[in-house]
Structure 1
Amino acid sequence: MLLQGTKPTKPDFVFHPMTFPGLRQPRNPSAPQTVPLPNPLQVQHSQPCRRIQNFSFDSVTYTKLVQLSVKSGSPTYGKLAHAHIIKSAFKPCLFLLNNLLHMYCKCGDINTARQLFDKMPKRNVISYNSLISVYTQMGFHDKAMGVFNAARLAGLILDKFTFAGALNACGQTGDLELGKLIHGSIIVSGLGAKVFVTNSLIDMYSKCGEVNRARLLFESSDDLDEVSWNSMIAGFVRIGANEEMLKLLGKMHRSGLKLNTYTLGSVLKACCTHFMDSKHHGKALHTCSVKLGLDSDDVVATGLLVMYAKSGYLVDAIQIFKLMPNQSVIIYNAMIAGFLQDDTINDEYANETFNLFSEMQRQGMKPSKFTFSSMLKACNVVEAFGYGRQIHAQICKRNLQSDEFIGSALIDLYFLLGSVEDGVKCFTSTPKQDIVSWTSMIAGYIQNGRFGSALALFCELLSSGRKPDEFIISSVLGACASLATPRSGQQIQGYAIKTAIGNFTVTQNSQICMYAKSGDIDSANLTFEEMENPDVVSWSVMISSNAQHGCARIAFRLFELMKDCGIEPNHITFLGVLTACSHGGCVEEGLRYFESMKTDYSMTANVKHCACIVDLLGRAGKLVDAESFILNSGFEEDPVMWRALLGACRVYMDTVTGKRVAERVIELEPQASASYVLLYNIYNDAGIELHATKIRELMKVRGVKKEPGLSWIEVGNKVHSFLAGDRSHPMSQAIYAKLEEMLGRLEKIDRIEERPISSISEPKFKVSTVVNYHSEKLAVTFGIINLPASAPVRVMKNLRVCRDCHTMMKLFSKLEKREIILRDPIRFHRFREGSCSCGDYW
Structure 2
Amino acid sequence: MKLSPRHLRSLTKCLVPFCSFPPITSSCHPFSSQTQLTPQSFPPRVSFKPGTGNDQEQLINRLCRDNRFVEAIEILCQQKRLKDAVQLVEHRVQRPSVAIYSTLLQFCLRQRALEEGKSVHELIKLSNFVPGIFILNKILDLFCKCGSLEDARKLFDEMRERDLCSWNTLISGYAKTGRIGEARKLFDEMTETDDFSWSAMVSGYVRHNKPADALELFRLMQKNGKLVSNKFTVSSALSAAASIQSLCLGKEIHGHIVRSGWDSDAVVWSALSDMYGKCGSLDEARYVFDRTLERDVVSWTAMIDRYFGDGRWEEGFLLFSDLLKSGIKPNEFTFAGVLNACTQKTIEAIGKQVHGYMMRLGFDPFSFAASALVHMYSKCGNMESAYKVFKWLPRPDLVSWTSLINGFAQNGQPHEALRLFELLLKTGTKPDHVTFMGVLSACTHAGLVDRGLRYFRSIKEQHGLTYTADQYACVIDLLSRAGRFGEAEDIISNMTMKPDKFVWASLLGGCRIHGNLDLAKQAAEALFEIEPENAATYIALANIYATAGEWSEVARIRKMMDEKGVVKKPGMSWIDMKRKTHVFLVGDQSHPRSKEIYDFLGEMSKKMKEEGYVPDTEFVLHDVEEEQKEQNVFYHSEKLAVAFGIISTPPGTPIKVFKNLRTCVDCHTAIKLISKITERKIVIRDSARFHYFEGGSCSCKDYW
**Given residue 398 of structure 1, which amino acid in structure 2 is its aligned partner?**
H
Aligned residue for 1:306?
176
Seen in structure 2, the aligned counterparts of structure 1 residues 303 and 716 have a Cα distance that, compared at 3 Å, is same
2:428 aligns with one of 557, 560, 566: 566
RMSD: 4.3
Whole-Å separation in 2 of the counterparts to 1:602 and 1:286: 43
Aligned residue for 1:795?
657
1:236 aligns with one of 107, 111, 122: 111
1:519 aligns with 2:394: no
* Counterparts of residues 167-246 of structure 1 (less than 5 Å): 224-237=99-112, 246=115
Aligned residue for 1:261?
137
TM-aligned CA deviation for residue 529 of structure 1:
0.8
Q: Which moved more, 1:682-691 or 1:512-521?
A: 682-691
Whole-Å separation in 1 of the counterparts to 2:415 and 2:149: 49
3-state SS of paired residue (1:706): coil
Whole-Å separation in 2 of the counterparts to 1:765 and 1:528: 51
* Counterparts of residues 777-816 of structure 1 (less than 5 Å): 777-787=639-649, 791-816=653-678
Aligned residue for 2:689?
827
1:478 aligns with one of 327, 340, 354: 340
**CA deviation string 1:677-711 (max 9, x = no partner):** 22233233333333333333332332222233222
**Given residue 709 of structure 1, which amino acid in structure 2 is its aligned partner?**
G
1:682 aligns with 2:544: yes
* Counterparts of residues 722-733 of structure 1 (less than 5 Å): 722-733=584-595
3-state SS of paired residue (1:633): coil
Aligned residue for 1:427?
286
Aligned residue for 2:250?
392
Whole-Å separation in 2 of the counterparts to 1:374 and 1:676: 51
Tell me if the contact between 1:543 and 1:577 (Cα under 8 Å) persists in the aligned partners: yes
Aligned residue for 1:276?
none
**CA deviation string 1:605-633 (max 9, x = no partner):** 33222222222222232334434534543
**Comparing both chains, which one has the higher relative contact order based on Cα–Cα distances under 8 Å and sequence gaps of 6 or more?**
2
Tell me if the contact between 2:105 and 2:117 (Cα under 8 Å) persists in the aligned partners: no
Tell me if the contact between 1:296 and 1:324 (Cα under 8 Å) persists in the aligned partners: no
**CA deviation string 1:332-357 (max 9, x = no partner):** 34643553xxxxxxxxxx5x554565
Tell me if the contact between 2:101 and 2:120 (Cα under 8 Å) persists in the aligned partners: no
Seen in structure 2, the aligned counterparts of structure 1 residues 553 and 701 have a Cα distance that, compared at 3 Å, is same
1:406 aligns with 2:271: yes
Aligned residue for 1:608?
470
Seen in structure 2, the aligned counterparts of structure 1 residues 502 and 700 have a Cα distance that, compared at 3 Å, is farther
TM-aligned CA deviation for residue 737 of structure 1:
2.9
Tell me if the contact between 2:414 and 2:442 (Cα under 8 Å) persists in the aligned partners: yes
3-state SS of paired residue (2:656): strand
Aligned residue for 1:97?
none
Whole-Å separation in 2 of the counterparts to 1:631 and 1:499: 55
1:714 aligns with 2:576: yes
Seen in structure 2, the aligned counterparts of structure 1 residues 765 and 267 have a Cα distance that, compared at 3 Å, is farther
Aligned residue for 2:19?
none
Seen in structure 2, the aligned counterparts of structure 1 residues 625 and 699 have a Cα distance that, compared at 3 Å, is same
Seen in structure 2, the aligned counterparts of structure 1 residues 250 and 394 have a Cα distance that, compared at 3 Å, is same
Whole-Å separation in 2 of the counterparts to 1:398 and 1:483: 40
Whole-Å separation in 1 of the counterparts to 2:585 and 2:458: 44
Q: Which moved more, 1:766-775 or 1:664-673?
A: 766-775
**CA deviation string 1:636-656 (max 9, x = no partner):** 363232222222221222222
Whole-Å separation in 2 of the counterparts to 1:840 and 1:600: 33
* Counterparts of residues 147-186 of structure 1 (less than 5 Å): none
Seen in structure 2, the aligned counterparts of structure 1 residues 368 and 841 have a Cα distance that, compared at 3 Å, is farther
**CA deviation string 1:232-289 (max 9, x = no partner):** 334434xxxx6xx744764675476865434543564355xxxxxxxxx665666556
Whole-Å separation in 2 of the counterparts to 1:617 and 1:284: 62
TM-aligned CA deviation for residue 803 of structure 1:
1.9
TM-aligned CA deviation for residue 523 of structure 1:
0.9
Tell me if the contact between 2:479 and 2:488 (Cα under 8 Å) persists in the aligned partners: yes
Tell me if the contact between 2:411 and 2:689 (Cα under 8 Å) persists in the aligned partners: yes
TM-aligned CA deviation for residue 603 of structure 1:
3.5
Whole-Å separation in 2 of the counterparts to 1:288 and 1:730: 81
* Counterparts of residues 513-552 of structure 1 (less than 5 Å): 513-552=375-414
* Counterparts of residues 552-701 of structure 1 (less than 5 Å): 552-633=414-495, 635-636=497-498, 638-701=500-563
1:336 aligns with one of 205, 209, 228: 205
Tell me if the contact between 1:738 and 1:781 (Cα under 8 Å) persists in the aligned partners: yes
3-state SS of paired residue (2:324): helix
TM-aligned CA deviation for residue 411 of structure 1:
4.4
Whole-Å separation in 1 of the counterparts to 2:250 and 2:432: 37
TM-aligned CA deviation for residue 527 of structure 1:
0.8
Seen in structure 2, the aligned counterparts of structure 1 residues 505 and 659 have a Cα distance that, compared at 3 Å, is same
Aligned residue for 1:144?
none
Whole-Å separation in 2 of the counterparts to 1:555 and 1:443: 31
Whole-Å separation in 1 of the counterparts to 2:144 and 2:402: 36
3-state SS of paired residue (1:721): strand
Contiguous gaps of at least 5 residues in structure 2: 1-52, 76-95, 191-196, 621-625
**Given residue 326 of structure 1, which amino acid in structure 2 is its aligned partner?**
E
Tell me if the contact between 1:318 and 1:335 (Cα under 8 Å) persists in the aligned partners: no
Tell me if the contact between 2:203 and 2:233 (Cα under 8 Å) persists in the aligned partners: no
- Between the two proteins, the alignment pairs up a number of residues equal to 592
3-state SS of paired residue (1:233): helix
Tell me if the contact between 2:617 and 2:629 (Cα under 8 Å) persists in the aligned partners: no
TM-aligned CA deviation for residue 520 of structure 1:
0.8
**CA deviation string 1:767-825 (max 9, x = no partner):** 96132222211222233344455553221112221221122122223333333221122
**Given residue 454 of structure 1, which amino acid in structure 2 is its aligned partner?**
G
**CA deviation string 1:730-758 (max 9, x = no partner):** 443433333222221111122xxxxx599
3-state SS of paired residue (1:830): strand
Tell me if the contact between 1:822 and 1:830 (Cα under 8 Å) persists in the aligned partners: yes
Whole-Å separation in 2 of the counterparts to 1:633 and 1:377: 42
3-state SS of paired residue (1:297): helix
Whole-Å separation in 2 of the counterparts to 1:373 and 1:596: 49
TM-aligned CA deviation for residue 323 of structure 1:
6.1
Aligned residue for 1:818?
680
Tell me if the contact between 1:796 and 1:824 (Cα under 8 Å) persists in the aligned partners: yes
Whole-Å separation in 2 of the counterparts to 1:267 and 1:787: 70
3-state SS of paired residue (2:700): coil
2:318 aligns with one of 453, 456, 459: 456
TM-score normalized by the length of structure 2: 0.72
Seen in structure 2, the aligned counterparts of structure 1 residues 232 and 493 have a Cα distance that, compared at 3 Å, is same
Whole-Å separation in 1 of the counterparts to 2:154 and 2:444: 57
**Given residue 425 of structure 1, which amino acid in structure 2 is its aligned partner?**
E
Whole-Å separation in 2 of the counterparts to 1:636 and 1:372: 47
Contiguous gaps of at least 5 residues in structure 1: 1-192, 272-280, 310-315, 340-349, 751-755
Seen in structure 2, the aligned counterparts of structure 1 residues 392 and 571 have a Cα distance that, compared at 3 Å, is farther
**CA deviation string 1:539-559 (max 9, x = no partner):** 222222222224333333333
**CA deviation string 1:190-216 (max 9, x = no partner):** xxx999x999x99xxx9xxxx75999x
Whole-Å separation in 2 of the counterparts to 1:761 and 1:463: 55
Whole-Å separation in 1 of the counterparts to 2:688 and 2:111: 52
Seen in structure 2, the aligned counterparts of structure 1 residues 598 and 446 have a Cα distance that, compared at 3 Å, is farther
TM-aligned CA deviation for residue 531 of structure 1:
0.9
1:326 aligns with 2:189: yes
Whole-Å separation in 2 of the counterparts to 1:633 and 1:284: 51
TM-aligned CA deviation for residue 478 of structure 1:
1.9
Whole-Å separation in 2 of the counterparts to 1:268 and 1:566: 39
